[in-house]
Every structure is written in C-alpha cells, then in structure tokens.
C-alpha cells in the first residue's frame, strides 16, 4: 500500500500544478491521498482548483506510477521533504508561501548556523570577482553557510570559493536538482552534491525556464540571515531577490564600488535606501553577531599578501604589490615601476606560472 509521502511526492511533482496553492489544497481535501483518490467533480469543488485543473490532475495520475516514481527519486539520491516534515528547514517555514515540499541533493543548511546569501551580477568585473571570492572564502572559513543560486558570475564564484575553503554552500536552483544549470558550472554542481547542498521546489526533470527563477529567489533570501549584494546594475535580477528579502524582514548589505561604474549603480541605490556597506567577512559577521550571541567575531582570513610571496624576486614582488583587480597593461607596469621591458616580461611570466596574476587579454594583467 502506498505511503502518504508518495502521495505528497505525486502532488508536488505534477507538472502544471503551482506551488502557490499546494499547501492549502491538500488540507482542504483532507490529505494528498484524498486528492489523489478524488474524482474530477470532487476536485473542482476544492477552492483553488478549477475545472480544467481538476481534469488535468485526473489525467496526470492515470499515467503516474505512484510507488515507482517515488522509488526512482530515492534511487537517484534525491530526497523529497514535505513542509510538515521535521527535516524541513525552519527558515523556510517562516516565510509566507513556502513550498509544499522541497527536493534535495546533499545536505540541507543547518538552521542553527550563520547563513549568508552572496548574490550579484552575472557579468561581473575583476573587482567583483575578487570580492565574491574573498567573501565566500572567509565566510566559509568562519563557519558561515554561503547560499546562492549557482548562476554565472558572483553567485557561483562565491560558492566555489566557499567549498574550496572547506566550508558549506547551498545552491538554490530554478530547475530540478538533477539538472545542472548553467552546464558550465558542472564542477561546482558536483562539489555541492558532495560537500554542500542543492535545493529546488521544482520536481526532478524540470528544465530551467525564465519564469522559474524569480520564485526560487525567495528561497535564497529565506534560507539566509543576511543578503549581501556584490555588484548589481540599476535594474537586474538581483533586485528581485532583494525585494523578496525585504518582504521577509531580512537585512541587506552591499559591497561598495566605484560611483562611475554601472555595476555599482544597484549597490549605491540600495546603500542610499538603508543597506549596510560591507568590505569584508568581518563586517558581515559583525552584523550577524546579535543573532548569534556568544560566538567569536575575530575573523580568520587570508592575508592580502600571501606568505608564499617571500619566494618572489624583487621585480616580481614589486609587480604583484602594484597590481590590483582592475586590468593594467605591461607598458603602464614598466612606466610606473621603472622596470626594463625584458625584466618586466620575465617577472610577469613567472607570476603567471605561479598563479599570482592572470592575463585577461594580450599584455593586460590583474592580481589572481
């Protein structure tokens, strides 16, 4: 005989039935099982289910293998956690319109651990990339969970830095958890499965679609104590997450950038509206300290000039110390540092080989 969770899994997985009324519809019918067993007429009498939806539900369950589909989910390593389960995240339960159930690969974020959403521009600058890496790394090293959407740019950069530092990160997807999107983030996706977590309210097999991402953004903010924006244009998808976070009563922090940079416009606007400017994980943990009294706020972070630079030659160290996260061409390096061209080229080559700097384009460099 089928178990109640198998009926819940069917209800949460029936394509075309929207999460907005899932949590209400099952109790109105008595349970997901009673929904499954009801005829079209009975279904249409339930508030929130139109005649067309009722017919769709009846047709959908005719082609649904109740026990087989749930078993297939379990065999794939995906957990389905309904909203009434003790394993359902407390942070999600607190928001209005939380999902009827979630699909999970890996580990859920710990409700008792500091949790920070790091979000921002997909096409970020080198400065934005650097800040996302530093924040993701230092937050992870200090025990905070890094939550984001695994998107190009700031999201995935911060998450990769967190897992590379040995910390926990969770990706909230706008697709089924069995689908890696974007495909270029496969390495990060696999790492999150192994050491972090992946969550979606959409059933396995759901392909990513633009309409699904705004909804998933509310889960990013819900699972976080604080939302940190690293670079955002004036009008962007980041703004949707911020609006949802504010509706949920969450605080917003921003990483300031140059006032002339379009990628700073969104952060500057949020700053004007009351968001807190931050420049380090230490700043972020200080904001969170009232939520976690008694925990240390001394931040473990890597030095700006790594210890391994002691092995660099004088010319290499001079160039490394000069470079930042805005590209500088070789000619400017020679001029500003008073280096001969052959000496500079040799030093730049060795710094590249050592992983200290990157060449973004021909003879144009930034610190790694």
Q: Which of 108, 101, 119 is nearest to 250 (CA)?
A: 119
The domain ranges of the chain are 1-75, 115-291, 307-367
CATH code of the domain made up of 307-367: 1.10.10.10
Q: Alpha-carbon distance 247 to 32, whole Å?
A: 30
CATH code of the domain made up of 1-75: 1.10.150
115-291 classified as CATH 3.40.50.450: yes
Distance spanning both ends of the chain, measured CA to CA: 58
Q: Alpha-carbon distance 210 to 235, whole Å?
A: 16
pTM of the model: 0.83
Q: Which of 154, 170, 157, 162 is nearest to 267 (CA)?
A: 154
pLDDT 10s digit of each residue in the chain, 368 long?
578 899 889 888 875 555 556 666 777 777 888 888 888 888 888 877 888 888 888 888 888 888 899 999 999 999 999 988 999 999 999 998 888 899 999 999 999 999 999 999 999 998 999 999 999 999 999 999 999 999 999 999 999 999 999 999 999 999 999 999 999 999 999 999 999 999 999 999 999 999 889 889 999 999 999 999 999 988 777 888 999 999 999 999 999 988 889 999 999 999 999 999 999 999 999 999 999 987 766 666 666 666 666 678 888 888 888 888 788 888 898 888 888 888 888 888 888 888 888 888 788 888 87
Number of alpha carbons in the 13 Å side-chain half-sphere of residue 29: 28
Name residue, tokens 């925990």: 295
């Amino acid at each position: 005989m089928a178990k109640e969770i198998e009926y819940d899994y069917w209800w949460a997985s029936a394509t075309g039935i929207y999460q907005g009324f899932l949590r209400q519809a099952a109790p109105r019918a008595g349970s997901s099982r009673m929904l499954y067993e009801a005829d079209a007429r009975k279904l249409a009498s339930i508030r929130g289910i139109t005649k067309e939806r009722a017919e769709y539900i009846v047709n959908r369950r005719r082609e649904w293998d109740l026990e087989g589909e749930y078993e297939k989910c379990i065999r794939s390593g995906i957990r389905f956690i309904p909203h009434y389960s003790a394993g359902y995240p407390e942070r999600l339960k607190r928001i209005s319109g939380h999902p009827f159930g979630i699909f999970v690969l890996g580990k859920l974020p710990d409700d008792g651990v500091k949790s920070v959403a790091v979000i921002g521009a997909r096409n970020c600058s080198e400065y934005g990339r650097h800040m996302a890496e530093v924040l993701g790394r230092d937050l992870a090293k200090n025990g905070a969970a890094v939550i984001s959407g695994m998107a190009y740019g700031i999201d995935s950069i911060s998450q990769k830095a967190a897992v590379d530092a040995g910390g926990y990160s969770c990706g909230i997807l706008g697709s089924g958890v069995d689908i890696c999107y974007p495909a270029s983030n496969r390495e990060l996706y696999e790492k999150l499965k192994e050491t972090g977590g992946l969550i979606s309210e959409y059933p396995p097999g759901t392909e990513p679609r633009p309409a699904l991402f705004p909804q998933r953004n509310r889960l990013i903010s819900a699972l976080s104590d604080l939302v940190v924006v690293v670079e955002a244009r004036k009008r962007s998808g980041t703004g949707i997450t911020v609006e949802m976070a504010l509706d949920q009563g969450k605080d917003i922090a921003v990483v300031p950038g140059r006032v002339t940079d379009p990628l700073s416009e969104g952060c500057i606007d949020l700053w004007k509206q009351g968001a807190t400017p931050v420049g380090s994980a230490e700043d972020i943990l200080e904001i969170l300290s009232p939520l976690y009294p008694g925990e240390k706020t001394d931040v473990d972070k890597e030095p700006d000039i790594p210890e391994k630079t002691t092995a660099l030659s004088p010319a290499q160290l001079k160039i490394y110390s000069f470079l930042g996260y805005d590209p500088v061409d070789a000619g400017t390096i020679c001029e500003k540092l008073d280096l001969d061209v052959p000496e500079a080229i040799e030093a730049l080559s060795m710094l590249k080989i050592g992983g200290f700097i990157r060449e973004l384009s021909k003879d144009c460099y930034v610190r790694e």
